[in-house]
Structure 1
Amino acid sequence: MSATPAPEPARTLLLLVRHGQTPTTGTVLPGRAPGLHLSGLGHVQAERLADRLGGLTLDAVHSSPLERARETAAPTAARWGLEVLEDVGLTECDFGAWTGAALSDLARLPEWHAVQHTPSAFRFPGGEGFAEMQARMVGTLERLCRSHPGGAVVCVSHADPIKAAVAHYLATPLDLFQRITISPGSVSAVSLAEGRAPAVLMVNSTLEPLGGLRQA
């Protein structure tokens, strides 16, 4: 009599949400500096996110501790009767001395070429390296997967950490991660289970309803 095969580990649906737009989106590298809140459009994007997730059963809403991320997470958490759980592993990259600088000024620096073309070897002066950021973000997502086996979890973070995580799960070299676009208020979805290959279900979705993701 043949043995009954062990059941496969349950997959966890991780919804990677970039925070909504802020007054400085696209012009300044805000980093981890406190006090940056969503713009009016950002609040609209946060409300729209809660609408788009309708039809899913959410187990938890986790967020970067920064204000713009928590404000993005709040409408979804309220809609599902959940608490916004702050997780430092989802926070923005530490841009060190570049924090608060205008992107137009940074683009003139010789180091900017490394940021765009060889980020795996780049470390922000006084801050974090891209490889460290990717390892932190991936480690955080896999910890959340273990904490919510078979569940659906919203993870509100920032553009670069999400891009790096998506690159990892797509087996894309970190030096090519700048080719991935993660827009304000967008959702990227990854399905994870220990011992099984990850599945990237969508990247940078900004419009369509997402209620069918678990079934997909």
Structure 2
Amino acid sequence: MTQSTLILLVRHGETPTTGTVLPGRAPGLHLSERGRAQAEAVADRLSGLPVEAIYSSPLERARETAEPTAARTGTAVAEEAGLLECDFGDWTGAALAGLTGLPEWQTVQHNPSVFRFPNGEGFSGMQARIVGTLETLRAAHPGGVVVCFSHADPIKAAVAHALGTHLDLFQRIMISPASVSAISYADGKAPAVLTVNSTSEPLSGLRPA
């Protein structure tokens, strides 16, 4: 009998620079007070789900978002490099207001499949990384519920892949801070996207499709 694995993709909560800076993989960025409250709210919303495993991007803001859920479920957080933010290379730490005026920004928004950040990662490589990581986690937890704390662009890329949407359209997917997106995976079947960018309602009723 085929077993489905439910993977919940949670974007980290807000930080002091959310929406203004492209932090990338730079260390030392922590949740803001609002972000910490959002992390607690995520734990509330996941309450009641039979969580088997919790994985997090190694970056502080993701791990801090995972901590309340780990405490509520009694499940340790395992670091997973495959859930890391995209490597923005030379753009790491740049103000978004300055980047939006660059000619390359139009490619980022409208043709991301061909874009690679200077001395960094390309969106296609990022998508392959996150999709491969989720496949590994699915195989490791057949029939289980797995919570993954990650970042906006990798989650958008994973959702786009599960929907069968071309990467050039993935910027149309909104992934808000501390939002939850849920995908059900099973051998021999296309993924089933159960919810995207959920920010308020309880999620205890989610089950693998």
TM-score normalised per structure 1:
0.96
Partner of residue 99, structure 1? 92
Report the secondary structure of 1:56's partner residue.
coil
Larger radius of gyration: 1
Instruction: State whether residues 11 and 152 of structure 2, in contact with CA within 8 Å, keep that contact through their aligned partners in structure 1.
Output: yes
1:57-76 correspondence runs (5 A)? 57-76=50-69
* Cα shift at 1:147: 0.4
Structure 1, unpaired ranges of 5+: 1-6
Distance 1:178 1:49 in 2: 24
- Per the alignment, residue 173 of structure 1 pairs with 166
In structure 2, C-alpha distance between the alignment counterparts of 1:142 and 1:37, rounded to whole Å: 29
CA-CA distance at 1:127 after TM superposition: 0.2
Q: Distance in 2 between matches of 1:128 and 1:176?
A: 18
The residue that corresponds to 2:204 in the other structure is 211
- State the match for 2:150 in structure 1: 157
What does residue 3 of structure 1 align with?
A: none
The one-letter code of the counterpart of 1:94 is D
Q: What CA deviation, in whole Å up to 9, does each residue of 1:136-169 have, x standing for no partner?
A: 0000001000000000000000000000000000
* Runs of 4 or more consecutive aligned structure 1 residues displaced over 4 Å after TM superposition: none
1:196, distance to aligned residue in structure 2 (A): 1.3
Aligned to 1:138: 131
Other structure's SS at 1:123 match: coil
| Distance in structure 1 (CA, Å) of the matches to 2:75 and 2:190 | 29
Which structure 2 residues correspond to residues 123-134 of structure 1 after superposition, within 5 A? Answer: 123-134=116-127
**Which residue matches 1:77?**
70
Report deviation, 1:72.
0.2
Question: Given the alignment of the two structures, is residue 188 of structure 1 paired with residue 181 of structure 2, yes or no?
Answer: yes
Structural mapping, 1:47-66, within 5 Å: 47-66=40-59
Structure 2, gaps ≥5 residues long: none
1:215 is displaced (CA, Å) by 6.9
3-state secondary structure, aligned to 2:107: helix
Give the conservation status (yes or no) of the 8 Å contact 2:185–2:208: no
Tell me the C-alpha RMSD between the 2 structures.
0.8
Q: Kindly tell me the number of residue pairs found equivalent between the two proteins.
A: 209
User: Which letter does structure 1 place at the counterpart of 2:48?
Assistant: G
Deviations 1:149-194 (A, max 9, x none): 0000000000000000000000111000000000000000000012
Rounded Cα–Cα distance in structure 2 between residues aligned with 1:165 and 1:131: 11
The 1-side partners of 2:169 and 2:49 are apart by: 32
TM-score between the two structures when normalised by the length of structure 2 = 0.99
Kindly state the Cα deviation for residue 47 of structure 1 after the two structures are TM-superposed: 0.3
- Return the alpha-carbon distance in structure 2 between the equivalents of residues 91 and 77 of structure 1: 19
Percent identity over the alignment is: 72
Equivalent position SS for 1:85: strand
Q: Specify which structure has the higher proportion of strand.
A: 2
